[in-house]
């Protein structure tokens, strides 16, 4: 069975619509600032997708585009300007940044209450304790999707392939807080297959196309594919969908699985940040 991120995300947007209307009725228009630096084509595509969904829902999405020659201090000043702007409810720096920038230093300038992408040290530290204000959107989308299909992580053996600060590590923390037993595999893992064969749930977020085959998984395993690669003009995930589809019980497609959930979680957290502003104004 496919875990349909498009279907679930459409339900999320439907539920957000009356909340956005209530905010506007109280004089608050949800607004996010997205800072896009450099000329990474994939980043441009992702930003445009986020902007389109915000526009569809009546959320202001202001994209600030800068060349990769911009001084780092100028980016920090830009973030600080929007930190103190009460009309702005979310600030997001599109990753990856060009390699000469201090990514963590820049992200950590965002106020936690406006960190709707959940990537500052403050947000990740709160996540580790199990008390996040906002969480990284892709891991949050994975957890949300599992819940909507009534897949309980408690007591499950889960293997996460990939240990990035963006997905693998925060997702592993979320899974632990939901009662899962988690194994994290990365490029240094010897024989990843020996771990996935024991897993009830395999989540791959390493960006290696078609890495996971049917001989990597046990019968009726649950598979979440977070990876996305372009090979000869075709979009592929980390999991060989055609090879595993008859052996697993659930699987996310690529595209149409975790990608739509990531955007939905971002929009949801923008609305939640806006609602905090409303509560503070009452």
- Burial code (b: 16+ CB inside 10 Å, e: under 16) for 109-132 equals bbebbbbbbbbbebbbebbeeeeb
Q: Are 221 and 250 in contact (CB under 8 A)?
A: no
Distance CA 162, CA 175 (A): 14
Copy the structure tokens of residue 25. 């009725």
Give CA 149 to chain center in angstroms.
Answer: 18
Distance CA 257, CA 253 (A): 5
CB atoms within 10 A of CB 250: 17
Residues with catalytic function: 50, 94, 117
Give CA 222 to chain center in angstroms.
Answer: 19
Q: Are 188 and 163 in contact (CB under 8 A)?
A: no
Distance CA 279, CA 282 (A): 5
Give CA 95 to chain center in angstroms.
Answer: 12
């Amino acid at each position: 069975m496919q875990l349909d991120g498009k279907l679930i995300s459409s339900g999320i947007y439907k539920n957000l619509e009356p909340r956005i209307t209530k905010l506007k009725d109280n004089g608050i228009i949800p607004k996010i600032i997205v800072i896009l630096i450099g000329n990474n084509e994939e980043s441009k595509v992702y930003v445009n997708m986020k902007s389109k969904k915000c526009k569809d829902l009546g959320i202001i999405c202001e994209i600030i585009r800068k060349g990769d020659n911009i001084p780092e201090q100028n980016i920090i000043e830009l973030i600080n300007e929007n930190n103190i702007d009460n009309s702005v409810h979310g600030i997001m720096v599109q990753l990856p940044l060009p390699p000469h920038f201090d990514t963590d230093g820049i992200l950590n300038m965002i106020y936690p209450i406006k960190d709707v992408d959940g990537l500052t040290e403050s947000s990740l530290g709160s996540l580790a304790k199990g008390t996040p204000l906002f969480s990284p959107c892709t891991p949050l989308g994975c957890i949300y999707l599992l819940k909507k299909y009534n897949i309980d992580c408690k007591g499950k053996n889960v293997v996460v392939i990939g240990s990035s600060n963006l997905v693998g590590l925060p997702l592993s923390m979320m899974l632990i807080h939901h009662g899962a037993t988690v194994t994290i595999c990365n490029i240094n893992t010897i024989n990843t297959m020996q771990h996935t064969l024991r897993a009830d749930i395999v989540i791959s977020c390493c960006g290696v196309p078609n890495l996971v085959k049917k001989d990597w998984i046990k019968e009726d395993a649950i598979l979440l594919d977070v990876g996305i690669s372009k090979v000869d003009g075709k979009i592929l995930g980390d999991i060989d969908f055609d090879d595993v589809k008859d052996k697993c019980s659930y699987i996310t497609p690529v595209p149409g699985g975790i990608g739509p959930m990531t955007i939905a979680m971002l929009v949801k957290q923008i609305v939640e940040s806006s609602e905090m502003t409303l509560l503070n104004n009452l």
